[in-house]
Structure 1
Amino acid sequence: MATLPHVLVLNGPNLNMLGVREPSIYGRDSLQDIESACQQRARELGLSLDFRQTNLEGELVTWIQQARGNAAAIVINPAAYGHTSIALLDALLIAELPVIEVHLSNIFRREDYRHHTYVSQAASGVICGLGAQGYLLALDALATILKNKKDR
């Protein structure tokens, strides 16, 4: 039996507070709700999924480094670290994997300091402002990217 392509879904600081943290900005879905929807979509797309969250920048870097050679792609919602972390950018570049960056809110309609993310420099694509649906769209995009890569 063939092994399913493995996608790592990483979530940065404060995302464990979804559903209670500023629902007018981030929505009412909890991170567990988002994970459940992602697991279902991954099954539909023929992907295996590892869904994680941490408030620690170094832990995200370690997980990204471990993904090199162990995962087919990464979905990352770096949260505030996207705007500040060159370390995440470097780790994503080292991983040499397709990456989709996700933000629940439209970062371009918010404070100026949120308009730039370092992570986007390593991303194949960026999805922002679509709430929890952004994660599902990221999985759809990665399934297509991985299929096209396999068909070459």
Structure 2
Amino acid sequence: MITAIAARWHEDQAGLLRADGAVGDLVPGYLDLLRSLAAPAERERVRLGVQIWAEALRAPEVEAVARAGVDAPREVVARLVRVAQDHGELPAGLPPDGLARVFIAIYQGLALQTAWDAGLDNDAYVRAVEGLVSLLTS
């Protein structure tokens, strides 16, 4: 049952991320994904997601689903970073997989903070991330 919940969670989150071959195409969906965590109806789902991450440390079948839900978008982002670097849209010295993992960590960190801090200012968090992204892409 936990495995099915984890799979559904990743399907829902992946639906917010769309990109047609450019990092710039991915940014609005990523920011929307971060904003989505602030929805009052999402609070319990976010808390459940954090519990699933904990369960993934103990149950290999849950870990496999959780990893697949992270690894697939990570590979997409890393590929888009490489393309953007080839076109001079992003600095060449950034490791693509490393940058993809940073953006995953930003999402995971916001999810964790959302789960335990009802007073979190999601809008300020997303504006800060948007500012960081604009520094990278300018």
Whether these two folds match at TM > 0.5 is no
Higher relative contact order (CA 8 A, sep 6+): 2
Instruction: Please identify the structure whose Cα radius of gyration is greater.
Output: 2
Specify which structure has the higher proportion of helix. Answer: 2
TM-score, scaled relative to structure 1: 0.35
